[in-house]
A = this chain, B = another copy of it.
Amino acid sequence: MIDKYKVADQSIQITEQQNMIRVAVDVALFTIRDEKFQILLIKRGIPPFLGFWALPGGLIRTNLGKLGEDPKSAAIRELREETGLTVAPGHIEQLKTYGSPDRDPRNRVISIAHLGIGPNLDNPSGGSYAIHAEFIPVEGIDQEFKLAFDHKLIIDDAIDRARSKLEYTTLATEFCPPEFTITQLRTVYEIIWSIPLDPGNFQKKVLSSPGFVEDTGKNANPLSGGGRPARLYKSGSTAMINLPIRRN
């Protein structure tokens, strides 16, 4: 019942190099482009999985300063290094850790996956070293789509998380520019959930949820072809929605 290794581990771990594992971070960065829900992927330029798509990511560094970097910082750094894109700390969160012993064919790597949201992103810079980064519509990522490691699993989990967080948090505002109209916000829900929502009811629900959005007093420029100018709102400070937006 009691294992003799238990205390041994705790006493030797200060000096010995045992039971150490490589720890990576991966980032599932989503955006909306061309009215599609898209995810940032890189095309691998080295084996294993040469030519396969993968999430941007890499090992957490231990040689920076005395103790190393925390996982979220590592995720932001790897994203920048591999794609040239920068995401704010407020727009990235931990998703889940993937630790199956055989998930990397070379040797053991545990990955702390992150979920990121990127509004108004530049085009990713295709890195050197034959690494190519691109936004890919999530609808196109099916069984045919060649993904490295267990990244298909991670992407599916990330999509699920993003879709369900729309319902009870203000995540949707992170897909919008700093000032946006209610219609723009509704379009985010419609694109990510792939369903139409009633414009009138959506408007009332968002405005009746305290702290969801904040009125700027300004109006957006009317579209060409006419239509009443929409009022501009900015994201509120509150994180949770009291009246959930529903998917029925």
Chain A interface (Cβ within 8 Å of chain B)? 1-3, 5-7, 9-11, 13-14, 17-23, 46, 58-63, 65, 67-71, 77, 80-82, 84, 94, 96-97, 99-102, 106-110, 112, 125, 127-129, 131
Contacts and interface: CB of A to CB of B under 8 A. Distances in A.
A69 B94 CA distance: 23
A94 B97 CA distance: 8
Nearest to A78: B6
Contact of A19 (B3, B61, B102): B61
A14 B107 contact: yes
A13 B59 contact: yes
Given A21-B22, A65-B101, A67-B101, 17 more contacts: A2-B81, A2-B84, A2-B128, A5-B81, A6-B82, A10-B46, A11-B46, A13-B109, A19-B63, A20-B20, A20-B22, A20-B23, A21-B68, A23-B99, A67-B102, A68-B108, A70-B99
Contacts of A108: 62, 67-68
Q: How many copies of the polypeptide does the oligomer hold?
A: 2
A18 B63 contact: yes
A221 B125 CA distance: 70
A25 to B, nearest CB: 9
Contact of A69 (B68, B101, B131): B101
A107 B13 contact: yes
A21 B21 contact: yes
Given A14-B106, A22-B13, A62-B19, A6 B67 contact: no
Contacts of A68: 21, 101, 108
